[in-house]
Amino acid sequence: MVWPFTTRDNQRTEIKQHPAGAAFLIGSAVQWTGSNDRRSYIREGYQHNVIVYRAIREIVEACKAISIELFQGDNLIEQHPALDLLNQPNPWQAYDQWLSEMMVNRLLFGETFAVGTPEGQFAEMWPLNPIDMEIKPGPHGLPLAYCHKRGKSEKYFAVDQVTGQSEVFYLKTYNPDNYWRGQSPLMAAALSADTHNAGSTWNYSLLKNSARPSGLVRFKGGYPGGETIQRMREYFKSALAGERNAGEIPMLADDAEFVELSKSPRDMDFTNTMKETAKYIASAFGVPLPLIDNDASTFNNLEQAKERLYTDTVIPLMQEFMGALSAWLLPRYGEGLDFKLDMDSISALEGNRERMFNRAVLAFEKGVLTREESRVMMGFPSEGEGEYTPLLAPMMEQKSLEVKQSFKPTDQMVSNYRRGLEMHAEGLTGDGIEAATIRMATKIVGGGSVSEEWVRKANRWWGRNNRFLDQPKDSPAYASAMLWGGAAGRDWYRARYNELERESKADDVSDAVRKGLQGKVEDHNEDVGDTASKRTNLRTLIAVFKRGVGAYETNPESVRPNVTSADQWAYARVNSFLYALRNGKFRSGKHDTDLLPEGHPMSTKKSVGAELLRKIAYGY
């Protein structure tokens, strides 16, 4: 093995060591606000500031929790030398330790380095500390070389001026002040981090002296000489300063009096300031505050914060890192290889997956998507395997039924209904209000939903009484308007009514489409004769046509470029369906198999209603 930081005379292939050699020493800078002192980032930021450390660790641990997959095109590769190298980058580190060091450098310095060795297909990858790296600028936007320097030792790694390839992997954030180097997030958070450190130091110094501030000595007989002043200073330092002397009482002569300088607890309390600076630091790193500050976290917002950490920070960070690593490493192993994140391995995104699942279920139930399209939308293969246990499907069907039958009013509507009930209690509604109106308003204020019938009734009421909103706000007419949700209720009921109307007409198609589909039914049935498993009817083709329109509108990626309208795509789907009906197979991908008649070899129709979850998840 050839290590990049050993001289050629001393190379030993059996020796395993970090190519950069011995560890570096960290400097002792204590002030780094607004500077780019990299060693101060380590000491004053990562090592001395608990918020910076916690934010970086949250991101790093989240990055390590994501599984990495290797693809060649659309094919998943489970065994490959590149995966072996990623799992064990070097004899000293497994993948988790290697990624942790790379990500800490990326978050501390805004850049991260690694070196691969030997040349060609790397056998090992070693992380390099950005403090030890220099970049030799090139004339055409690419570095001429990367230089690893420590003391008098220097090692150069050339950069191909055509391809940009090098033995060194380098990834940086954009730095408007320096084209060649990355910008650390700590530059933006420096003032907040310094303030937080100062607050911790101040509170600690007060704690050591029992939270007692300085005082003064007042002499009754005039100001004493210099020697007396010096002795008094030494006395008070030894008698009152430090945690051992907390609470001590000074003993003075008759002509001297100790006066403690008073400060309010607010003057000495840095807690609120430190909480504010913690917010700014967490924001600079993209970490939600509930993950940093336990006082700001609850069971509800902690789960949301974890999800947001992944979606806003960790996933973009890892996609950028793995994309750059793929471009640097994988061409050495062949073409078309790519590292990708396994999103299903992220437990914090379970809520996202559940919402996607519910959307796919609802789209299938409404006939917008087929079983195969719904499975693909959920991330499953279009055809499932395995046995079905129908335990959850009835519950899902009932839940879907409840969604159809009820509507949840908005918060603004609830507020208006509450105001209407208050006006009714004050006697402002008069005698014309129906008891059913009061009961429904009370139900809505209590968190209830409204039925389809009530939506239609409310829309009719607003059609007659919209003028009530223009009446004086203490009038019976205005009170009645509030008991129907006010202006927010008027708009909401109208929108819900329009949705119901569209759904009620969903089974209808235009006369031209109906006539065209009827012609296809007649021609098809004439061709296939009396074979029941091959015949169809107008209702079935209308269902296929509507699914085609829905797929065109909700899944445009599946539409061929030469298709210019929803009807054109829907007719193509009908023709594909009729082809499968006649020939017992599809030209390409399967679709609408649940609409094929019983007895057809591709049919998934059951004589008793097939549960929704079975259709979605298992392909039955």
Residue 395 has pLDDT above 50, yes or no: no
Six token digits for residue 253: 């002569």
Angle, CA of 593, 597 and 602, to the nearest 5°: 40
C-alpha neighbours within 13 Å on the C-beta side of residue 361? 23
Who wins on pLDDT, 262 or 216?
216
Look at 82-86, 143-147, 209-213 and tell me which has the smallest mean pLDDT. Answer: 209-213
Query: Helix, strand or coil for residue 241?
Result: coil
Q: What is the pLDDT of residue 113?
A: 92
- To the nearest whole percent, how much of the chain has pLDDT over 90? 8
Residue 412 pLDDT: 92
Considering Cα of 89, then 94, then 95, then 96, what sign does the dihedral take?
Answer: negative
Cα–Cα distance measured from residue 284 to residue 184, given in angstroms and rounded to the nearest whole number: 10
Main-chain dihedrals φ then ψ at residue 192, nearest 5 degrees: -65, -40
2 vs 472: which has the higher pLDDT: 472
pLDDT at 60 over 70: yes
CA gap 570, 587 in Å, rounded: 16
Q: Are strands 153-158 and 406-407 parallel, antiparallel or unpaired?
A: unpaired
**Interval 530-572: pLDDT, tens:** 787 888 888 888 888 888 887 777 766 666 777 778 888 889 8
Mind giving me the DSSP string for 414-433?
A: HHHHHHHHHHHHTT-STT--
d(CA 6, CA 60) in angstroms, rounded, equals 31
Distance (Å, whole) CA 168 – CA 174: 19
Per-residue pLDDT of 431-448, as tens digits, reads: 778 888 888 999 999 888
pLDDT of residue 413: 92
Closest C-alpha to 149, from 164, 162, 135, 168 = 135
Residue 442 in contact with residue 395, Cβ under 8 Å? no
Map residue 566 onto helix, strand or coil: helix
- Each residue of 202-235: pLDDT tens digit? 555 555 555 454 566 666 666 666 677 777 777 7
Say whether the peptide bond before residue 118 is cis (omega within 30 degrees of 0).
Answer: yes
> Distance between CA 612 and CA 533 in Å, rounded?
24
Q: Which phi-psi region, left, alpha or beta, contains residue 34 (left: φ > 0; alpha: ψ -120 to 50)?
A: left
**3-state SS assignment for residue 16:** coil
Alpha-carbon distance of 315 to 176, in angstroms, equals 24
The answer on pLDDT for 137 being more than 90 is: no
Per residue in 456-494, pLDDT tens?
Answer: 889 989 988 888 899 998 888 898 999 999 999 999 999
Q: Over pLDDT 70: what percentage of the chain?
A: 70
**In whole angstroms, what is the distance from residue 398 CA to residue 361 CA?**
13
Write down the pLDDT at residue 362.
Answer: 81
Q: What is the DSSP string of 317-343?
A: HHHHHHHHHHHHHGGGT-SSEEEEE-G
Whether the CB-CB separation of 342 and 349 falls below 8 Å is answered with no
Contact assessment for residue 292 and residue 278, using Cβ atoms and an 8 Å cutoff:
yes
Measured distance CA(329)–CA(117) in Å, rounded: 11
Instruction: Kindly list the domain boundaries of the chain, sorted by start residue.
Output: 214-261, 410-484, 511-617
Higher pLDDT, residue 522 or 500: 522
Average pLDDT rounded to a whole number, residues 94-120: 87
- Is the confidence at residue 405, as pLDDT, over 60? no
Report field, pTM of the whole predicted structure over 0.85: no
Going through 282-409 in order, the beta strands assigned E by DSSP cover 337-341, 406-407
For position 482, what pLDDT does the model report? 92
Mean pLDDT, rounded, for 165-194:
79
